[in-house]
């Protein structure tokens, strides 16, 4: 994650947006972070042709990117910026087609060793109607051992 030298307290939406903008792959995908704080984070991506698979649906790899990143940002609201993603699990529930992909993750529990987060992925259609396309859960861990043990800066 960010390793921005900021403490958890200073790591707010603006800082999260900066951290996201510092990820070349997130710029390639054109993801934006629209919520960050209080144990939750939301990422949005405008759906366009280059994010699709061969049938016109959003590629599973885009959904899994969104799950990975949103789970990690949610964890950062609790553990601070100096974290690494441990892994995650994702289940696709419906082909993703629409105007916007939205991933919202929440911390289930954050301790010294790791934060466990869940994520719901939805697509919004032209009228703004939202339907779930995937669910995920995963973990992130402090970069330098249990939280409080410093930061990578």
Interface residue with a second copy among 12, 14, 32, 109 (CB under 8 A) is 109
Tokens of 71: 């789970």
First vs last C-alpha separation in the chain: 11
Q: Among 7, 32, 38, 93, which residue interacts with a second copy (rule: CB under 8 A)?
A: 93
DSSP conformational letter for 24: H
List 5, 7, 10, 27, residue binding a second copy (CB under 8 A) = 27
Contact status: 129 vs a second copy (CB under 8 A) = no
The residue written with tokens 């699709």 in the block is 52
3-state secondary structure of 106: strand
Closest CA to 58 of 47, 44, 42: 47
Give the integer Cα–Cα distance in Å for 121 and 115: 19
> Of the listed pieces 8-16, 34-42, 44-52, 122-130, which binds a second copy according to CB under 8 A?
44-52
Name which of 24 and 128 has its Cβ closer to a second copy. 24
Binding site for a second copy (CB under 8 A): 1-3, 19, 22-29, 49-55, 59-62, 64-69, 72, 84-95, 108-109, 111-114, 116, 118, 132, 134-139, 141, 145-146, 149
């Amino acid at each position: 994650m960010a390793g921005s030298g900021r403490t958890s307290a200073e790591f707010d939406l603006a800082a999260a947006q900066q951290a996201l903008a510092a990820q070349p792959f997130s710029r390639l995908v054109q993801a934006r972070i629209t919520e960050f704080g209080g144990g939750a984070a939301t990422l949005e991506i405008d759906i366009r042709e280059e994010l699709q698979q061969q049938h016109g649906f959003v590629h599973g790899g885009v959904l899994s990117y969104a799950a990975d990143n949103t789970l990690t940002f949610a964890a950062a609201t609790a553990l601070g910026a100096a974290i690494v993603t441990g892994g995650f699990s994702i289940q696709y529930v419906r082909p993703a087609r629409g105007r916007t992909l939205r991933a919202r993750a929440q911390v289930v529990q954050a301790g010294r060793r790791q934060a466990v987060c869940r994520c719901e992925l939805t697509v919004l259609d032209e009228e703004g109607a939202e339907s779930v396309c995937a669910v995920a859960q995963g973990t992130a861990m402090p970069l330098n051992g249990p939280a409080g043990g410093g930061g990578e800066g």
